[in-house]
Amino acid sequence: MLTKKAKYGLKAMVHLAGVRPGETALVADIAASNQIPKKFLDAILGELRNAGFVHSKKGKGGGYMLARPPSDIGVGNIVRALDGPLAPIQCASKTVYRRCDDCTDETRCAVRLVMLRAREAIAEVLDKTSLEQMRELGESGDGVRSLVGGKAARQAMDMA
């Protein structure tokens, strides 16, 4: 489950992707537009700055701006910066792999092997989507219609 930190962070990044390049957005404005608790957003944008996704400027005319064009920022990496690895379980992560203390033989752990597949599926979606694409999704508002399609997908959707 995505934490609120990541959810708010993503919303803020989408907001920042919407301002004209070179201009900044105030934390107060981002918070108000997206109904995010301002103080929490302060902390979140701080982390995103430390991670190199955004730049900040203090004082009048200050605020936040993206450090790179939104087409260069992967959604998956934003989530990683805020919530940690995409993998549902750490032993299935490549970026922040950590051994499971329980589980004697990792290579035969059924849980891990299934979750490796899940991680791959998640990464396939999140790493293939740029911040720009994500923002466009919201603008056109179509959503799922234009997706993989097929009976299997629709069936899976009915129970997720």
Taking the C-alpha atoms of residue 85 and residue 79, their distance in angstroms, rounded to an integer, is 8
CB 28 within 8 A of CB 61: no
DSSP for 11-79?
HHHHHHHHSPTT--B-HHHHHHHHT--HHHHHHHHHHHHHTTSEEEE-STT-EEEESS-GGG-BHHHHH
Query: How near is the Cβ of 125 to ligand FES at its closest, in Å?
Result: 16
Query: How near is the Cβ of 49 to a copy of itself at its closest, in Å?
Result: 20
103 interacts with ligand FES by CB under 6 A: yes
53 interacts with a copy of itself by CB under 8 A: no
Segment 32 to 61, residues that bind DNA, using CB under 7 A: 37-40, 42-43, 45-46, 49, 56-61
Taking the C-alpha atoms of residue 78 and residue 63, their distance in angstroms, rounded to an integer, is 19
91 interacts with ligand FES by CB under 6 A: yes
Contact map string, positions 57 to 96, toward DNA, x by CB under 7 A: xxxxxxxx--------------------------------
60 versus 155: smaller Cβ distance to a copy of itself: 155
Instruction: Give the contacts of 23 (CB within 8 A, at least 6 positions apart).
Output: 65
Query: How near is the Cβ of 118 to DNA at its closest, in Å?
Result: 17
Residues engaged in binding DNA (CB under 7 A): 3-5, 8, 26-28, 37-40, 42-43, 45-46, 49, 56-64
